[in-house]
A and B are shown apart, each in its own frame.
Chain A
Amino acid sequence: MIATLFLKELTLELRKKSVISGLVLYLFSTVFICYLSFSLKQNQITPLVWSALFWVTILFSVINTVAKSFIGEKKGREIYYYSISSPTAILISKMLYNFLLITVLSLTGWLLFIIFLNNPLTDHALFAATLLLAALGFSTSLTLLSALAAKANHSNILMAVLSFPVVISVLLIAIKVTKNCIDGLDRSVSYPELFTLLAINCVVAAASYLLFPYIWRS
């Protein structure tokens, strides 16, 4: 069931290319604005500024990406899904799909940053691992919040308000590991952080799994 729902999300997305191209364009414009605002003064982008810009860009694109997963659904279609499958199957398929989407987006963002704002990283494999874990954290926490916000008025504002505080712990750890990647520290220094990130992801995923059935009942 999860696999079917996941494939359905993917097919719908690929069939309706406007959304995904909109997201990529959003990402591109943000990176380009960063580039233009530092224009001609490339040398002022110190590694710390790079990491701050990178994570802010990723955070905003990700919140926009995940927000649409429940807010964008049509009312009638939602009822249909709920009548044919269990709520947890819907949640897990959405989470997996968001995870895939966020990973693709952050990798694209990384590529764009390398092209426009150079690349201060020294340990690429570790940074890729951080990106993956952060993407997992974003998808597990934001999917539930998107379902929550979709039930209220002014969903889009609410989505931003609810999600910033919740994803901040993921973001703080990711920024810390990014700094280690930039400084080229030994990998063993970053392992405790990555494990903490994984642990937070597990807690948040478990909480979402347990709480989601209560949201869709309304």
Chain B
Amino acid sequence: MKTWVKILCIALLVYTIVGGFLLEVPRLNIVNESIRALYFHVPMWFGMIALFTVSLVYSILYLNKPAFKRDAFAVEFVHAGIVLNILGLTTGMIWANYTWGSPWHGDPKQNGAAIALLIYLAYFVLRGSIENEDQKARLSAVYNIFAYAAMIPLLFIIPRMTSSMHPGNGGNPGFNSYDLDSRMRLVFYPAVIGWTLLGVWIAILRVRVRFISEKLLNLEHD
């Protein structure tokens, strides 16, 4: 990653944390100050989808033309995506504990996110149970593409068909109508970019670690 991207990422996150806690927010019943969770909870999901999509692209590229580099990118973006998924679930649960009354409410979107976590954990189980490196990379790329296709209806279609308490689902209005007024947008969009960049940064660091250990392994063989 270029240095200016890293600086941008840190600046955006500092702004998110400072602005997210100090700037004015709309006064709404029940939600009150906890509306600030929007800056920390929602960007996790944007970031997760972005990272999983990058991983999907690298898996498709890998099947197109196998290369160690592409497989490394696919794996590590899933790793970072899983971290964001867990953080998103946790922040959601903390928020739900105070606003809905209990951490796990059986909301369709919450369940969908938990199942998405299971899908991608199974990806690592699959990788763990194949010994041949080429075969491991190819089969897990196939599963990654398949899992992504299975995850989309779970997160974006089924919650809209059932009664979900998330905005934009089950007849609830989306963010745009009243939740997210222009003051919140000022922090929300930078927060999305900042958290996504952080995820990409972590993933790229891990990819580089993977390259180095691969290089070391080759040196040992020589």
Contacts and interface: CB of A to CB of B under 8 A. Distances in A.
| Co-complex (A, B) | yes
Interface of A: 141, 144-145, 148, 151-154, 158, 161-162, 164-166, 168-169, 172-173, 176, 192-193, 196, 200, 203-204, 207-208, 211, 214-215, 217-218
Given A165-B118, A208-B146, A214-B142, A152 B130 contact: yes
A141 B142 CA distance: 13
B218 interface: no
Nearest to A206: B149
Interface stretch (B26-34, B154-162, B175-183, B200-208): B154-162
Contacts of B154: 168-169
Given A148-B143, A154-B129, A196 B161 contact: yes
B158 A158 contact: no
A169 B150 contact: yes
Given A153-B129, A193-B161, A196-B157, A165 B150 contact: yes
Contacts of A215: 138-139, 142
B131 A192 contact: no
B150 A158 contact: no
A148 B126 contact: yes
Nearest to A172: B158
Given A152-B139, A154-B129, 12 more contacts: A151-B139, A162-B126, A162-B143, A165-B115, A169-B158, A176-B162, A203-B149, A207-B149, A211-B63, A214-B63, A215-B142, A218-B134
A173 B63 contact: no
A208 B149 CA distance: 10
Contacts of B138: 214-215, 217-218
Interface string B163-192: 000000000000000000000000000000
Nearest to A160: B122
Nearest to B141: A214
B135 A151 contact: yes
A148 B139 CA distance: 7
Nearest to B123: A162
The SS class assigned to the B binding surface is helix
Given A165-B122, A166-B147, A200 B153 contact: yes
B89 to A, nearest CB: 15
Given A200-B153, A207-B146, A165 B139 contact: no
Contacts of B126: 148, 152, 158, 161-162
Nearest to B146: A207
B146 A144 contact: yes
Given A148-B142, A158-B129, A162-B126, A218 B115 contact: no
B153 A218 contact: no
Sorted nearest first, the 5 A-B pairs with minimum C-beta distance are: A165-B119, A165-B118, A152-B129, A166-B150, A207-B149
A165 to B, nearest CB: 4
A164 B115 CA distance: 9
Nearest to B130: A152
A106 B168 CA distance: 36
B153 to A, nearest CB: 5
- Most chain A CB inside 10 Å of its own CB: which residue of B129, B130, B131: B129
A176 B158 CA distance: 11
B125 interface: yes
B168 to A, nearest CB: 17
B145 interface: yes
Contacts of A166: 119, 146-147, 150
A153 B119 contact: no
Contacts of A152: 126, 129-130, 139
B115 A168 contact: yes
B125 A161 contact: yes
Contacts of B115: 165, 168
Contact of B139 (A172, A176, A204, A218): A218
A158 B143 CA distance: 12
A164 B135 CA distance: 23
Contacts of B150: 141, 165-166, 169, 204
